[in-house]
Amino acid sequence: MAPLVAAAIASREISYTNPSGRRLAFHRVVGQIWREGLGLMLQGAGVSGLTAFASLYFVARNWGNAGLVMTAFGIGFIFVRLALASLPDRMSGYRVAFWSMVIEAIGQAMIWGAPDESVALAGALVTGLGCALIFPALGVEALKRVSPANRGSAIDIFYGVWGPIAGVIVGQFGYAAVYMFGAASALLGAALVLTVRSPQS
């Protein structure tokens, strides 16, 4: 039902006019925003671990309430989006992304070392708090680096490659290792954004 409602709303909207300007080849766009894209990719490790393996992790540890993992993540995510959504526009997107990734890393570490399900659920909540603003924060900075004619492709790359990688990690080291890897990836992403200066809009 929800997709039909969305389709009805979209059908009544005025079409967007593409901005003028020379369109760059895809690899040229990637070359301009690879740091922001890599930051998004590193952030995605934690989310992939939650969506793909949290239920199996809970079962392996003989914990209940595995179905609440994504609920806890969603509560944290939505709360930050509602309360702090304007932060990337009011301050440096890189600063917002840095602290968001640090928070995500804390959440992932909580899940990795959780002694019981309540700590793991709290870790999922903290992960959601951290993940909420990383995409808009780095997206704002990525859009500053490309012309209006190329912005459509600027924010859709580098994302969503962690599922197969996480599967390999689980096969070799167990479910908990996915969250240690997620924490390490988030910290690496935080270190990466510290090296980038914001360009002029």
| pLDDT value for 18 | 53
Measured between alpha carbons, how far is residue 36 from residues 12, 17, 155, 157, 169 in Å?
Answer: 34, 26, 9, 10, 25
Question: How far separated are the first and last CA of the chain, in Å rounded?
Answer: 40
| pLDDT value for 201 | 45
Residues of the chain with pLDDT under 70: 10, 13-34, 145-163, 197-201
Q: In three state form, how does the secondary structure of 60-127 look?
A: HCCCCCHHHHHHHHHHHHHHHHHHHCCHHHHCCHHHHHHHHHHHHHHHHHHHHCCCCHHHHHHHHHHH
| pLDDT value for 127 | 96
Measured between alpha carbons, how far is residue 185 from residues 7, 13, 108, 118, 168 in Å?
Answer: 37, 39, 10, 24, 16
| pLDDT value for 182 | 92
| pLDDT value for 166 | 78
pTM over 0.75: yes
Joined together, the tokens standing for residue 35 give 């740091």
Residue 32 half-sphere exposure, CB side, CA atoms within 13 Å? 19
Q: Write the pLDDT tens digit of every residue in 158-172.
A: 555 666 777 788 888
Does residue 88 contact residue 136 with C-beta atoms inside 8 Å? yes
Does residue 60 contact residue 111 with C-beta atoms inside 8 Å? no
